[in-house]
Structure 1
Amino acid sequence: MAPTFAEATAITATDSHTYTANFNTEWCVGSVPHGGVVTSVFLRVAATHFRTTLAAQNQPHTISLHIEFLRRTQEGPATLVVRDIKLGRQTSTIHVALSQDGREEIVGYITQSNVDTETGLSLKTLWSLDPPPPSPPADFAVLLAGGKEPRWVELTNKPFPKFRKIAHRVRTFLPRDGQVLPGLADEWVRLDSGERFTNESVGFVCDHFPSIIDGLWRKAEGNKSPPPFWFPTVVLNLDVKKVLPPEGVEWLFVRVRTKSVKNGRMDLEVVVLDETGEVVALSHHIALIVGAERNMAARRNGETKI
């Protein structure tokens, strides 16, 4: 039985600035832990560190995260070491480095604040999703009951499911009439376990979406199916706009869009909304596009390069 999301992203403190995690195969793409799972582990480290070691800062909320994926990670144990970079009255920033088998593989900066006590200018903008997604929002009761929702349908024929094992951990609902534009994907997501999304799991949500490349490939190649690609993240940035309730939320909406796919590299712009249409988080990625065999290739001389 696959571990829950909470179990898959659990961390343990070994001292005031060191934490351990364990990446499970069921939350991987091929042999590599899913980037969103890793991001959520970083967020859990920050939340725990500011609840314990840095409790006096009273800054429980991540407002910004920047992660660099230096090397390919693997299933199994990992160690995360924290350095307190800047401790301030309004915001504080930590550096987190993840290592496996003595290799530093991922590094990141995380900035914390206290959203509940923030003050300052607030203005309404005229921003909205353009083009708009199917409206009104999905009837979640119908979707969960397996009924026919007029605007949204569950993705059941998931591509390369043995390779993209992570897809089994999430229920994904796509526009019934197809995506509104090539290079864009809208979805409603819910964890298959029924667990609720918290701010730590937004790190996972911002990196889980239908393949943008699949749709663009089919358009360019006369609807031919694409080969199995792997999309390793190089850089992931997260800007958290809203604190989710302590009990979490069951559903989140995600829009992802790419502006350029060139020379095996692409950008991804991600918007995460809640059921009310309020922005929860914004994310930007740089990702590579490589053959799936690169994911499964044996490591040479102990290296874990992508």
Structure 2
Amino acid sequence: MAPSFAEATAVRAVDSHTYTVNLNSEWCVGSVPHGGVVTSVFLRVAATHFRKTLTTQNQPHTVSLHVEFLRRTQEGAATLVVRDVKLGRQTSTVHISLSQEGREEVVGYLTHSNIDTESGISLKTRWILQPAPPPLPADFTMLLAGGEDPNWIEQTDKPFPKFRKVSHRVRTFLPRAGQVMPGVVDQWLRLDSGEKFTNESIGFVSDNFPSVVDSLWIAEQKGKRPPFWYPTVALNLDIKKTLPLDGVEWLFLRVRPKTINNGRMDLEVVILDVAGEVVALSHHVVLVVGTERNMAARRNGQTKI
């Protein structure tokens, strides 16, 4: 049985600045732990660190994150070391590095604040999603029941499910009439376990969506698409609001690239809640490579992407 999301991202404090996690194969793409899971581990380490070691800062919320994936991670134990870079009155920043078997594989900077006590100017920007997505589901309960919503339907034919084992951990609902245009992915997402999304889950959510390559591949009439792996090189998060402490069941994502060129693409990810409010924005640098790169043997102890 696959571990829950909470179990898959659970961290244990070794000392005031060192934490461990066990990356599980059921939350992998091929042989590599899903990048969103790793990102959520970083968020969880930071949340734990500010709650325990840096409790006097009273800055429980990650407001920005930048993570660089230097090498492929693998299932099994990992160690995360935190360095307190800047401790300030309004924001504080920490550096976190993840290592396995002596290899530094992922590094990141996370800035914390207290969103609940923030004050200052607020203005309505009048920003909206363009083109507009299909209307909000009328009844989320009916969606789960395989119901009659005219605009949204559950994705049941997930591509390459044996390779993308992590796709079994979520339920994805897509526009019934198809995406609004090639290269745009709109979806409603929930965890298959029934767990609710918290702020630490946002890293996983920001990196979990159907391939944006598929509709563009079809639009350019390139024939049958080969299996691709999309390793993340860098991932940024800008978290706009706190989710309730007991979490939320549903989140909406819009994902869109601006360029895909020579096997590298950008991704812009917008995450909204059921009220249509922006929860987080994310930007990724992603490679598009053959799946054999994912499964290749690790040579000389290196795990380069």
How would you bin the TM-score normalised by the shorter chain?
over 0.9
- The residue that corresponds to 1:205 in the other structure is 205
Give the letter aligned to residue 225 of structure 1: K
Q: In structure 2, the residue corresponding to 1:177 is in which secondary structure?
A: coil
Is the aligned partner of 1:155 residue 2:155?
yes
What's the TM-score, normalizing by structure 1? 0.99
1:219 is displaced (CA, Å) by: 1.4
* Cα displacement string for residues 183-237 of structure 1 (whole angstroms, at most 9, x for unaligned residues): 1100000000000000000110000011001111111125x33111000000000
Distance 2:57 2:141 in 1: 41
Is the aligned partner of 1:227 residue 2:226?
yes
1:148 is displaced (CA, Å) by: 2.3
- The residue that corresponds to 1:277 in the other structure is 276
1:138 is displaced (CA, Å) by: 4.8
Is the aligned partner of 1:109 residue 2:112?
no
Is the aligned partner of 1:258 residue 2:263?
no
1:105 is displaced (CA, Å) by: 0.4
What's the TM-score, normalizing by structure 2? 0.99
1:107-186 maps to which residues of 2 (within 5 A)? Answer: 107-186=107-186
Distance 2:285 2:189 in 1: 22
- The residue that corresponds to 1:238 in the other structure is 237
Distance 1:294 1:187 in 2: 28
Q: In structure 1, the residue corresponding to 2:105 is in which secondary structure?
A: strand
Distance 2:3 2:138 in 1: 28
Q: In structure 1, the residue corresponding to 2:161 is in which secondary structure?
A: coil
Distance 1:88 1:243 in 2: 20
Q: In structure 2, the residue corresponding to 1:195 is in which secondary structure?
A: coil
1:118 is displaced (CA, Å) by: 0.6
Q: In structure 1, the residue corresponding to 2:300 is in which secondary structure?
A: coil
Say if 1:11 and 1:44, in contact at 8 Å, map to a contact too: yes
* Cα displacement string for residues 90-131 of structure 1 (whole angstroms, at most 9, x for unaligned residues): 000000000000000000000000011111001111100000
Give the letter aligned to residue 192 of structure 1: D
Distance 1:83 1:58 in 2: 18
* Cα displacement string for residues 133-171 of structure 1 (whole angstroms, at most 9, x for unaligned residues): 001335211111121210001000110000000000000
1:281 is displaced (CA, Å) by: 0.1
Distance 1:137 1:127 in 2: 21
Say if 2:23 and 2:75, in contact at 8 Å, map to a contact too: yes
Give the letter aligned to residue 36 of structure 2: G
1:181 is displaced (CA, Å) by: 1.1
Say if 1:17 and 1:83, in contact at 8 Å, map to a contact too: yes
Structure 2 unaligned regions, length at least 5? none
Distance 1:172 1:74 in 2: 25
Say if 2:190 and 2:251, in contact at 8 Å, map to a contact too: yes
Distance 2:177 2:50 in 1: 45
Instruction: Report the number of matched residues.
Output: 305
